[in-house]
Amino acid sequence: MNSKRVVVTGLGALTPIGNNIEEYWNGLVAGKSGADFITRFDASKFKTQFACELKGFNPLDHFDRKEARKLDPFCQYAIVASDEAIEDSQLDLDSLDKDRVGVIWGAGIGGLETFQNEVLNFAAGDGSPRFNPFFIPKMISDIAPGMISIKHGFRGPNFTTVSACASSANAIIDALNYIRLGYADVIVTGGSEAAVTIAGMGGFNAMHALSTRNEDPKTASRPFDKTRDGFVLGEGAGALVLESYEHAVERGATIYAEIGGGGLSADAHHMTAPHPEGLGAINVMKNCLDNAGMTFDQVDAVNMHGTSTPLGDIAESKALKEVFGDHLYSMNINSTKSMTGHLLGAAGAIEAIASILAVKNGIVPPTINHKTPDDQIDAKINFTFNKAQKRDVRIAMSNTFGFGGHNACVLVKKME
């Protein structure tokens, strides 16, 4: 079977630094931090009292009150971001063959707030099993693509990928492959997460995974800095409309970029820690290049997983040196998590979007909050510290790694 080319024709974003694509991109280029003190609940007794929350998001701006009550925030975010991407794509929904339009979504956790609140309500009661009838459908992670398909009548492939922080990158790669193989013409893909909750913050604090820089939240996400002390939890969604090249051209669509390939691998090492030599990261980047039919010296930029954890940043930096050799020193490397925080299952989507827009606009967003070099990380690597850099980016890669050793890498190409 001949493999079809796959292109990006629509984008949507709901992030801690912007509630649509334009705001998100402007925030990235400006080096805006999305971190601040938590407003959603009283976090004064938590070791970490800050996160990258959405700002100014009101579900009633997008849903009526009755509908909003039926949807966990992660699903609300998915619908809002996907609506923007679909509108951006200028798909004619009336003439579209909806049997050949799918939705493949990513979520690492799903309806955490719903689960948390139902359990808290039960524990506060008299022991009677009184649960909301929407408890289960609000909580399950596959409800997001289900609701997107119901809203628009898309009857093609429909499911959620769950691979922790690699979830939405996995979703993009699955969407790529379904279109490549001819099983769909169009797929709405991406991911969403809403884990800035009592349970989310408490759970990650118990793991010692989060930064505790409560005295200066905006600079807490500091990838590759010697003083980094953990990641900053984020929330939101990113959405992409992928199409076969032929389908996009036939309808005269505006094309952002081509999805050239995707790679997957496993660390097979530890429940939460990365392989110390970056073995899984090495394999996933090599697999991605092979899948795209590209060589390492053709890559201009990599948006790293770069979570700002002590072990992870070192392991991934080692992996880059192994994959790219001396070519690494002529590339732009960055971590947009320095601005957005870590959106867990939505990270792969918003970071792939950052790479797509870097290719389209010829600008690499910065890695902010860097002050102190780490002698365990090669100082000759251009991490695009603190200020965006203009560059003709023809090929970019985006890395996402998840607890359990799940690794995914997406390669984006400028349209020829």
Residues identified as active-site:
165, 305, 342
DSSP 18: B
How many other C-beta atoms are found inside a 10 Å radius of the C-beta of residue 40?
A: 16
Task: Report which of 188, 170, 291, 190 is spatially closest to residue 243, judged by C-alpha positions.
Answer: 188
CB 70 within 8 A of CB 252: no
* Strand residues in 277-379 grouped as ranges (E): 301-303, 332-334, 363-364
How many other C-beta atoms are found inside a 10 Å radius of the C-beta of residue 311?
A: 14
CB 85 within 8 A of CB 349: no
270 CB contacts (<8 Å, ≥6 apart)? 405
Task: Report which of 239, 204, 169, 215 is spatially closest to residue 37, judged by C-alpha positions.
Answer: 215
197-224: string of b/e by CB count within 10 Å (b at 16+)? bbbbbbebbeeebbbebeeebbbbbbbb
Within a 13 Å sphere around the CA of 400, how many CA atoms are in the beta-carbon half? Answer: 34
DSSP 273: S
- 3-state class (DSSP) for residue 292: helix
Residue 213 CA to residue 43 CA, distance in Å, equals 14
Residue 269 Cα to chain centre, angstroms: 23
Q: Quick one: CA dihedral 176, 179, 184, 186, positive or negative? A: positive
Are β-strands 50-51 and 158-161 bridged in parallel, bridged antiparallel, or unpaired? Answer: unpaired
CB 396 within 8 A of CB 303: yes
